[in-house]
Amino acid sequence: MSWPSNQPDQPVTDDAQRQAWRERFGESDRAAGIETTDNFVQFDQMNDLFTRAFWDDSVRTKDSDAFFDSYRAASAPRRGDGFALKDFALRNAAWAVSDILSNRGNEAGLREGFQSAIVDDTPVGEHKLPVDDPAAMAGEIKQVAKLFGADLVGITEVDERWHYSTRVDTRDFSRADNSLPEGITHVIVLGHSMDYDLVRTYPSALAGASTGMEYSHEAAIVIQLATYIRNLGYQAIASMNDTALVIPYAVKAGLGEYGRNQMVITPQYGPRLRFSKVFTSLPLAIDTPRPLGIRQYCDICTKCADACPPRALPFDEPKEVAATDGGARSTIKGVKKWSADCEKCFGYWAKLKTDCAICMRVCPFNHDGRKLVDRLFTRLATSRLRRWALWLDQRRGMPARLKPKEWWSRLVAR
């Protein structure tokens, strides 16, 4: 297929718009460690690597087609611990609820939760709850979200810089409008922790169940939370990977910091989370970004890059990808940050026929907090003694992968 040129055209980000954003978000950007440049443009979802795998011949291969097929009926069991039939079966079962949601709008070109926001199943209530104290309401919303199953919750203001300039109509992979209803002012960001022991089995089809379970869990949680808010008389749009880039929103909501491994690293779970969001008009107090010292540790640690099989992660300092750089289509332009080689990363996934999160598994912050040495590491790594933490972690070496057959043995023995 040729490079998509369907309407609507991508909006042009001009200097005046960049300056307006800089004035509006400059202070919170500095607190969050976000740095945009004069080359910044909104990201077009058409350039998302997973979307490109369906229309861009430089990404789409027999391996990538087989990768997507393996999540359905065409499992790809083979020799190798973690890639047997039951490993793929568990992974695909973990994705089942999310798949039901994302497939229900196929005829309308809506892959809900991934390439379009989740369609409302309930109207906005006629009776509006008065909100005299946005801080108290924010606290209540966080508790409701946790009641539904969210592990972390943060709130920030809407920032259209991180919204996709257009979304994807999955009927023909054309561009479609990505605007939200008028009056949306806040974003509730939800973190969903992945199973620690399953993550320890990466890379394997079995480990993919840790990702699928959280997508299925978050699908229910964001729908429930959005429905609750709509019943209060306010607009609420449930969202997973769709509509906007969630990483800057999670950082702005104070949930963690951006790491070399391209993930939000949190003090509670390290990088072992998936994130979802609810866009709403409900009056809420916002959280502030919290510099935790994690980013400074990533400055001196390259453990994730060292462990990456396709060498897709950066070893150098954060830098921007310019708007004119056509060699990084799947990277947002004009943001100074660590950026992966997305094509190398996905190419490795396609060969495995499952996702790879070795970078998540080996991250020194990926621990369950039960061991004293892990708790000591985190305290040192987020302090001025971070080089001592680096020395301690280097002494420990790369964490051993949990063998999938051992994971199954533990499951049966419970």
Average pLDDT (56-74) is: 91
Q: Name the residue ranges covered by the structural domains of the chain.
A: 29-413
Reported as a pLDDT band with limits 50, 70 and 90, residue 278 is very high
In this predicted structure, the answer to whether residue 325 has a pLDDT above a threshold of 90 is no
Lowest mean pLDDT among 11-20, 225-234, 349-358: 11-20
DSSP string, 144-164: HHHHHT-SEEEEEE--GGGB-
In this predicted structure, the answer to whether residue 1 has a pLDDT above a threshold of 60 is no
What's the pLDDT at 54?
94
Q: For a pLDDT cut of 70, what percent of the chain falls above it?
A: 95
Q: Tens of pLDDT along 130-145? A: 999 999 999 999 999 9
Q: CA-CA distance, 87 to 405, in Å (whole number)?
A: 10
Average pLDDT (265-293) is: 95
Q: CA-CA distance, 105 to 229, in Å (whole number)?
A: 23
Are 315 and 305 spatial neighbours (Cβ–Cβ below 8 Å)? yes
Q: For a pLDDT cut of 90, what percent of the chain falls above it?
A: 86
In this predicted structure, the answer to whether residue 25 has a pLDDT above a threshold of 90 is yes
Q: Mapping DSSP to helix (H, G, I), strand (E, B) and coil, where does residue 280 land?
A: strand
Reported as a pLDDT band with limits 50, 70 and 90, residue 15 is confident
Q: CA-CA distance, 45 to 176, in Å (whole number)?
A: 10
What's the pLDDT at 326?
52
Q: Is 176 left (phi over 0), alpha (psi -120 to 50) or beta?
A: beta
396 versus 265: the higher-pLDDT residue is 265
What's the pLDDT at 322?
63
The neighbour count for residue 116, using CB atoms within 10 Å, is 23
Element (H, E) at 239: strand 236-239
Reported as a pLDDT band with limits 50, 70 and 90, residue 13 is confident
Q: CA-CA distance, 15 to 345, in Å (whole number)?
A: 33
What's the pLDDT at 133?
98
Kindly report the average pLDDT of the chain as a whole number: 93
What's the pLDDT at 8?
46
Give the chain's radius of gyration (CA, Å).
21
Backbone angles phi, psi at 106, to 5 degrees: -55, -45
In this predicted structure, the answer to whether residue 346 has a pLDDT above a threshold of 50 is yes
In this predicted structure, the answer to whether residue 10 has a pLDDT above a threshold of 60 is no
Element (H, E) at 275: strand 273-280
Q: Tens of pLDDT along 73-110? A: 767 788 899 999 999 999 999 999 999 999 999 999 99
Q: Mapping DSSP to helix (H, G, I), strand (E, B) and coil, where does residue 266 land?
A: strand
Q: What is the dihedral of CA 141, 145, 147, 148, to 10 degrees?
A: 140
Residue among 238, 100, 132, 138 at smallest CA distance from 180: 238
Q: Which residues contact 408 (CB under 8 A, 6 or more apart)?
A: 86, 206
Are 196 and 253 spatial neighbours (Cβ–Cβ below 8 Å)? no
Q: Tens of pLDDT along 361-385? A: 999 999 988 888 888 899 999 999 9
Q: Mapping DSSP to helix (H, G, I), strand (E, B) and coil, where does residue 360 land?
A: helix
What type of residue sits at position 17?
A: Q
What's the pLDDT at 294?
96
Q: CA-CA distance, 106 to 108, in Å (whole number)?
A: 5
Highest mean pLDDT among 7-21, 186-200, 324-338: 186-200
